[in-house]
Structure 1
């Protein structure tokens, strides 16, 4: 009897130490192309699928999310105000399943697994900025990191993340963008790149500063482990977002 009781207590202890990964933000998306950010239960519609595009209003999205997402904790508090469409715009007329086509000449050709010397043009927020390469301006989404919002809405540490990135870009003497993963551009024609500033990986530095809340993880990337290690450093040393 004592042996059985001991085994039960051990099992309970293991469960408490290794909770289900479904409650953590690991980049997994539901059938709509989005996921809940567990820190505040905000639903982020990263990459709308055909199913998500059938919704004409945020209220329609609430219904779809309720049916297709398994995060019971966040579903309990889901409202239209808890949905972040990011760059997606809900259709106002006839629903279009496919995004509008763009001319082949609208985005200059860059290729995967290449490094490009760039010049800084404009800062948007902690993980997005405009750069010029060979005379063409590219709006660029920084690979693998997800910083708090500071544009369409202001989240805690959103301004700090934006200020950190803008200051780093403005003072950098040499900027190199490195393409990686399976896509050169996202669906909004934003260049996807690692950002090197005077030889240092910006994504690693801003993560170490505690200004990255999660991973923009939709593939396998060259410097993933550097960013994960930087996140562990920020959490262990209570940097930025992780001070508490």
Structure 2
């Protein structure tokens, strides 16, 4: 009976998990049936327009409900260019003028560079969450970043060992005028952690600003903010001894942003309802047990 229960629950949970990519390298978001092209395969790169991509999705994706009413405006290319040209004009160690397309949160935004739109993960820093999960000072970090980016005069500077992370987000330092946004966020006390998985050009500047924020009690490091974090239960920030390297998500296993070289479920993808599936499995097992008793 227990084995039957496990077999019954497994396909339900697997079916409900939205994170698997189809043959094109994308998937539908179940909530609103928007199609995200995360990792375009050679098949997806055959499409030159969104209309052609719609036809490919309808042919190769198994989500009958969502693909039935799919239109080009419900496709999110996630920064990719159709025709396999994504990133072709970008190089490591270069600077590029950028235009803000969308401010997402404290450490992520979409920019148009050389005619292409790139979802961009700010190098080195991690700010509190403010999208799916709202953490203390997440909204403040998002407002700070969006306010700066709307000033314009934005330049992206590529650095490190790779242009993109495994979610095809461009990795870059973000300059607004002559100011480094990562440094300003750290100085304002809105950086909670670092993703130190490489050697980056401005690490020391950002760390110095981070230590200054802790010393002066800026942002989340003020006394009032610290008491809020301590009283926040699961939202309490990890403690960092002054003068030492703060723990990263890799060390704690508790991070809401996937680092550049670790693949985790993208935040935009819901995780499902495992408790509901467990209850459904147990109910089905009980019904089967009752039926067997009735047949004896």
Cα distance in 1 for partners of 2:144, 2:176 equals: 13
Secondary structure of residue in 2 paired with 1:105: coil
Cα distance 1:234–1:89, how it changes in 2: closer, same or farther (>3 A)? farther
The answer to whether the Cα contact below 8 Å between 2:151 and 2:176 also exists between their aligned partners in 1 is no
Deviations 1:137-187 (A, max 9, x none): 111000000000001110000000000000000013x11100000010011
The answer to whether the Cα contact below 8 Å between 1:210 and 1:235 also exists between their aligned partners in 2 is yes
Structure 1 unaligned regions, length at least 5: 1-55, 60-87, 94-98
Cα distance in 2 for partners of 1:239, 1:215 equals: 17
Secondary structure of residue in 2 paired with 1:233: helix
Q: How many residues are aligned here? A: 156
Aligned pairs for 1:19-98 within 5 A: 90-91=19-20
Deviations 1:102-149 (A, max 9, x none): 347152321100000111111000000011111111110000000000
State the 1:90 CA deviation: 4.6
What RMSD over aligned residues (CA atoms) do the two structures have, in Å?
2.7
Cα distance in 2 for partners of 1:155, 1:111 equals: 35
Secondary structure of residue in 1 paired with 2:84: helix
Segments ≥4 residues shifted beyond 3 Å: 88-93, 99-104
The answer to whether the Cα contact below 8 Å between 1:118 and 1:177 also exists between their aligned partners in 2 is yes
- TM-score, structure 2 as length reference: 0.49
Counterpart in 2 of 1:215?
194
- TM-score, structure 1 as length reference: 0.59
Deviations 1:38-88 (A, max 9, x none): xxxxxxxxxxxxxxxxxx89x9xxxxxxxxxxxxxxxxxxxxxxxxxxxx9
The answer to whether the Cα contact below 8 Å between 1:107 and 1:189 also exists between their aligned partners in 2 is no
Cα distance in 1 for partners of 2:120, 2:200 equals: 16
Q: 2:173 aligns with which of 191, 194, 215?
A: 194
Cα distance in 2 for partners of 1:228, 1:194 equals: 14
Q: Does 1:133 find its partner at 2:133?
A: no
Q: Does 1:158 find its partner at 2:124?
A: no
Cα distance 1:136–1:156, how it changes in 2: closer, same or farther (>3 A)? same
Cα distance in 1 for partners of 2:137, 2:85 equals: 34
Task: Work out which of the two has the higher radius of gyration on C-alpha atoms and give 1 or 2.
Answer: 2
Structure 2 unaligned regions, length at least 5: 1-9, 23-37, 46-82, 224-296
Counterpart in 2 of 1:149?
129
